[in-house]
C-alpha cells in the first residue's frame, strides 16, 4: 500500500488506535510498550502484513526531531530540581564523559571485529552511545518502579541530558567520515560550541519563556500549552541557528520552566504529558515503517555481538569510569549500567548517515536498529528483576504515591483570612508572581462582597480578603511574610 493524502489519516489513526490498545495490555506479559509500537510499525510496513511502502529517511528524520523535541521538553518539565540538585554532578558526568567513553569503547570494538574504518566505527559507537529518554521515561514511569535514594532522578537526568552529547559526537564523526582529509582536532571547536551555546541558550530562553507565559494575556486557558509549544520550537530552532545544540537547549529550558511558578502550569504539564506519549508512539511507528526486516536479518550475528558488547562492556566502562570520583554504592553503579536503554533516538541519529550518503550508511542503520531492539527487549523487560536482585528497589509499602494522591492527603489544618492593605507589595501582582510558599494555598478571594476562585493569572487588588489554607501555623507566617501585609 502506498501512502497517499487520501489514506494517510485513516492508516495513521488505525495504527495509533492499535498501538494504544495493544500497549495497554502489553505489561501483563512484561513487554515494554515502546517495543510493541515498533513491532506494529514493522508489521504495517512493506515487509509486513500491512504492505505500507515507506522508505524516506528525510521524512523519518523530521518526524524524529519533532518528536524528540516534545519528549525531551516533557521530561524536562517533569524534572524536580530539588531531587536533581543533589545528584547534578553525577548526572552531568554520565551524560558527557559517560557518553564519550561508551562511544569510544564501542567504536574500538567495532573497528576490531568489522571492516569499518576507525571513523566509521566511532560514528556507529556515537549513534548508540546515549540512553534513550523516551525509553527510560516511559518504562520507569509506566512500571511505577520505585528506586532507593536518588537513583531514579539520576537515571532520568542522564537520559534527558545525554542525547545532546551523542548528537554532537554523531555529527562530528560523520563529518570526519565524509571529509577524510580532516583530523580529529578539527571537530573539537564544533563540539565545544554546540554544548556551551546550547546550555547558555537553554537558560536564556527559559527565562524569556517564563516572562512571556506569565505576562501575556491570552484570555483562554487552552492557548497556554500552544504558546509553550511555540516557545519550545523557537528555543530549538534559534539555538541551532546560532550554532548551539538545540536538544540541550530545550531540555534546560524545560527544566527551568518546570520548577517555576507559571500561569496554568497544571494544564501545560498535562498537555505535554499526553503529547509526549503521542510523539513516542508516532516516532516508534514511523521508525518501524522505515525498517525493512529482511534487510536487518543478514546483520543479526554482528548486530548481536555488538549489542552484547555494548550492554555488558562498553556501557559499564562508561558508567564506572565517569562515576569513579563520586561516592556511590557498587550495586547502584551496576544498576545505572543496566538501565542503558537504547530506543528510538539512535535510530533517528542513524538516519543522518543515510541522508549524507556515506558508503556503509545502510549497514550502520540496520545494525543500530538491531541494537535498539535487543536493548529494549533485554534490558527493558528486566528492570524490575535486576532492581530486586541488586536490592535497589523499594518494597511495595514504601513506594511513593502519585502526586494527586499525595496532594489530596495533605492535611490543611491551619486557615487564615488575610486582608490586603494599601502598603502590601502583592497589590497589582498576579498570584503566580508572588513566590507563594509551597505548603500553603489561596482557597478563595473575597472581593467586593463576592467570592472568586483564584488562578495563577488572578491579580491581587487592594482590599481583597484572601482565604489561605496551610499545613501548619508556620506556613501561615510564611504567607504573611510573602505578602508583606
How do residues 43-60 score in pLDDT, each as one tens digit? 877 777 767 777 888 998
What is the mean predicted confidence (pLDDT) over 164-178?
Answer: 92
Identify the DSSP state of 324: T
Residue with the bigger pLDDT between 328 and 309: it is 309
Per-residue pLDDT, 394: 64
Least confident of 10-24, 157-171, 292-306: 10-24
CATH 1.20.1530.20 residue ranges of the chain are 56-394
CATH of 56-394, one of 1.20.1530.20, 3.30.1370.10, 3.30.450.20, 3.90.950.20: 1.20.1530.20
Using pLDDT thresholds of 50, 70 and 90, give the confidence band for residue 439. confident
Q: Among 53-62, 314-323, 394-403, name the most confident range.
A: 314-323
Per-residue pLDDT, 240: 94
Using pLDDT thresholds of 50, 70 and 90, give the confidence band for residue 231. very high
CATH 3.30.70.1450 residue ranges of the chain are 408-483
* Backbone torsion region of residue 342, taken as left when φ is above 0, otherwise alpha when ψ lies between -120 and 50, otherwise beta: beta
Q: How far is CA 195 from CA 167, 376, 466, in A?
A: 10, 28, 46
Using pLDDT thresholds of 50, 70 and 90, give the confidence band for residue 405. very low
Residue with the bigger pLDDT between 433 and 241: it is 241
Q: Determine contact, residues 83/32, Cβ cutoff 8 Å.
A: no
CATH superfamily of 408-483: Regulator of K+ conductance, C-terminal domain (3.30.70.1450)
Per-residue pLDDT, 316: 95
Using pLDDT thresholds of 50, 70 and 90, give the confidence band for residue 456. confident
Per-residue pLDDT, 89: 92
Using pLDDT thresholds of 50, 70 and 90, give the confidence band for residue 397. very low
Could you give the CA distance from residue 129 to residue 125 in angstroms, rounded to a whole number?
6
Residue with the bigger pLDDT between 353 and 136: it is 353
Q: How far is CA 225 from CA 202, 222, 248, 297, 363, in A?
A: 19, 6, 21, 43, 41
Cell triple for 328: 556511590
User: Full-prediction pTM beyond 0.75?
Assistant: yes
Amino acid at each position: 500500500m502506498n501512502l497517499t493524502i487520501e489514506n494517510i489519516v485513516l492508516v495513521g489513526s488505525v495504527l495509533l488506535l492499535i498501538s494504544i490498545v495493544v500497549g495497554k495490555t502489553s505489561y501483563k506479559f512484561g513487554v515494554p510498550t515502546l517495543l510493541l509500537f515498533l513491532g506494529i510499525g514493522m508489521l504495517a510496513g512493506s515487509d509486513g502484513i500491512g504492505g505500507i511502502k515507506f522508505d524516506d529517511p528525510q521524512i523519518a528524520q523530521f518526524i524524529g526531531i519533532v518528536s524528540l523535541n516534545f519528549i525531551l521538553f516533557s521530561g524536562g518539565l517533569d524534572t524536580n530540581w530539588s531531587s536533581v540538585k543533589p545528584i547534578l554532578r553525577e548526572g552531568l558526568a554520565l551524560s558527557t564523559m559517560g557518553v564519550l567513553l561508551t562511544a569510544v569503547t564501542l567504536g574500538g570494538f567495532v573497528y576490531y571485529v568489522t571492516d569499518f574504518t576507525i571513523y566509521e566505527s566511532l560514528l556507529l559507537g556515537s549513534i548508540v552511545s546515549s540512553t534513550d529518554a523516551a525509553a527510560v521515561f516511559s518504562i520507569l514511569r509506566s512500571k511505577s518502579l520505585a528506586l532507593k535514594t536518588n537513583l531514579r532522578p539520576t537515571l532520568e537526568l542522564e537520559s534527558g541530558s545525554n542525547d545532546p552529547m551523542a548528537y554532537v559526537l554523531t555529527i562530528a564523526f560523520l563529518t570526519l567520515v565524509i571529509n577524510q582529509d580532516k583530523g580529529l582536532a578539527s571537530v573539537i571547536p564544533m563540539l565545544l560550541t554546540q554544548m556551551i551555546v546550547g546550555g547558555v541558550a537553554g537558560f536564556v530562553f527559559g527565562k524569556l519563556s517564563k516572562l512571556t507565559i506569565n505576562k501575556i494575556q491570552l484570555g483562554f486557558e487552552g492557548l497556554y500549552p500552544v504558546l509553550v509549544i511555540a516557545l519550545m520550537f523557537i528555543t530549538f530552532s534559534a539555538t541551532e541557528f546560532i550554532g548551539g545544540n538545540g536538544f540541550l537547549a530545550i531540555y534546560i529550558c524545560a527544566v527551568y520552566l518546570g520548577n517555576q511558578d507559571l500561569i496554568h502550569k497544571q494544564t501545560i504539564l498535562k498537555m505535554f504529558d499526553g503529547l509526549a506519549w503521542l510523539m513516542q508512539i508516532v516516532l516508534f511507528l514511523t521508525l518501524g515503517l522505515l525498517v525493512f526486516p529482511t534487510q536487518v536479518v543478514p546483520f543479526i550475528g554482528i548486530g548481536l555481538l555488538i549489542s552484547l558488547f555494548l550492554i555488558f562492556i562498553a556501557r559499564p566502562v562508561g558508567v564506572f569510569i565517569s562515576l569513579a570520583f563520586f561516592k556511590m554504592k557498587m550495586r547502584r553503579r551496576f544498576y545505572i549500567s543496566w538501565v542503558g536503554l537504547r530506543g528510538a533516538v539512535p535510530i533517528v541519529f542513524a538516519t543522518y548517515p543515510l541522508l549524507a550518503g556515506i558508503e556503509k550508511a545502510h549497514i550502520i542503520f540496520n545494525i543500530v536498529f538491531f541494537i535498539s531492539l535487543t536493548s529494549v527487549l533485554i534490558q527493558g523487560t528486566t528492570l524490575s528483576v535486576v532492581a530486586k536482585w541488586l536490592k535497589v528497589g523499594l518494597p511495595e509499602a514504601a513506594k511513593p504515591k502519585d502526586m494527586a494522591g499525595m496532594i489530596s492527603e495533605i492535611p490543611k489544618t491551619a486557615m487564615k483570612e488575610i486582608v490586603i492593605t494599601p502598603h502590601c507589595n502583592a497589590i497589582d501582582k498576579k498570584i503566580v508572581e508572588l513566590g507563594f510558599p509551597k505548603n500553603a494555598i489561596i482557597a478563595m478571594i473575597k472581593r467586593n462582597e463576592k467570592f472568586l476562585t483564584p488562578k495563577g493569572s488572578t491579580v491581587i487588588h487592594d482590599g481583597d480578603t484572601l482565604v489561605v489554607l496551610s499545613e501548619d501555623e508556620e506556613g501561615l507566617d510564611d504567607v504573611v511574610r510573602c505578602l508583606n501585609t
